[in-house]
Structure 1
Amino acid sequence: MELIKKNKELLRIILAACIIFVGVLHFVIPNIFAKLIPAELPYPLSLVYISGFFEILGGIGLLIPPVSHAAAWGLLTLFIFVFPANINMAVNQIQLPNIPNSPWFQAARLPFQAVLIAWAWWYTRPSDDEKQA
């Protein structure tokens, strides 16, 4: 655990880079993400663009100490709000290009969302490191 604490800032950069990358993908290949939006929600393409925008914004915010705390709360909230799309993918076995199409893989993605939520939550907590807001 101490090793993870020592690498908190490196892990912040990794999370930010991954979130920014996925956010950009929302604009590059939006139709793939739109397939994951539950049918009960209106305007799936708009929701994809909105979530992509906030992923990019949150990722950038994690890298800026004065706003990193707020960005972490924003990402945590976003990860909770996009969870229904992950459930929809697993329940309806939605196949995406270059993603393994197996019920096991789709179900295994669900707990990973909890990892992302916990990872973002970690940056909402006060830090001894002056780099964090």
Structure 2
Amino acid sequence: MTNVDVWRSRCRAGLFALYATAGVLHVTFPAPFLAITPLWVPSAPDVVLLTGFCEIAGAIGLFVPSLRKYAGIALALYAVLVFPANIKHAFDSLSAPDVSPWQWLYHGVRLPLQPFVVWLALFAGDAVTWPVQKTSAEL
């Protein structure tokens, strides 16, 4: 197993934990997700339920070799598509009268990390290697 393979495996495990947990929460406790869903999203309860199932399926797919690349691409696309909800969540939270420094910290870190989450899903799904390169000893 190469160094890149070790990192991909670790990323898969981390994304599995993240997306499987989020998916289960979307399905079992949809209220917080409905609160951050933009108003222009049609049938918001159905969309939240569907996104939960997609997160769970994507998380599992990362561990099925024949589905891994598709799961990584799907999770990356998912991270792009839910970004409007992340922005709405930040605006709603940070415009509240009693906003805490922790909310500023959470959103200040969360929003700029979204491109990294997209890349991480692609990397974990074997869709990209960049910028990680195998050494000549690993080839």
Q: TM-score range by the shorter chain?
A: 0.7 to 0.9
Task: Report how far residue 44 of structure 1 moved.
Answer: 1.5
**Aligned twin of 1:81:** 81
Q: Which has the larger radius of gyration?
A: 2
**Aligned twin of 2:109:** 108
Residue identity matched to 2:70:
A
Matched, 1:117 2:118: yes
Change (3 A) 1:64 1:5: closer
Quick one: higher RCO (CA 8 Å, sep 6+), 1 or 2?
Answer: 2
Task: Report how far residue 3 of structure 1 moved.
Answer: 5.9
**Aligned twin of 2:33:** 33
Worse-superposed segment, 80-89 or 2-11? 2-11
Task: Report how far residue 101 of structure 1 moved.
Answer: 5.8
Q: How big is the alpha-carbon RMSD for the aligned residues of Structure 1 and Structure 2?
A: 2.6
Structure 2 spans left out of the alignment, 5+ residues: 135-139
Instruction: Give CA deviations for 1:31-80 in whole Å, capped at 9, x if unaligned.
Output: 11110101122222111111111000000000101110011111111110
Q: Size of the alignment, in residue pairs?
A: 124
Query: Distance between the aligned counterparts of 1:18 and 1:44, measured in 2?
Result: 22
Worse-superposed segment, 110-119 or 86-95? 86-95
| TM-score, scaled to structure 2 | 0.77
> Residue 58 of structure 1 contacts residue 71 of structure 1 at CA under 8 Å; is this kept in 2?
yes
Percent sequence identity over aligned pairs: 29
Query: Distance between the aligned counterparts of 2:5 and 2:71, measured in 1?
Result: 20
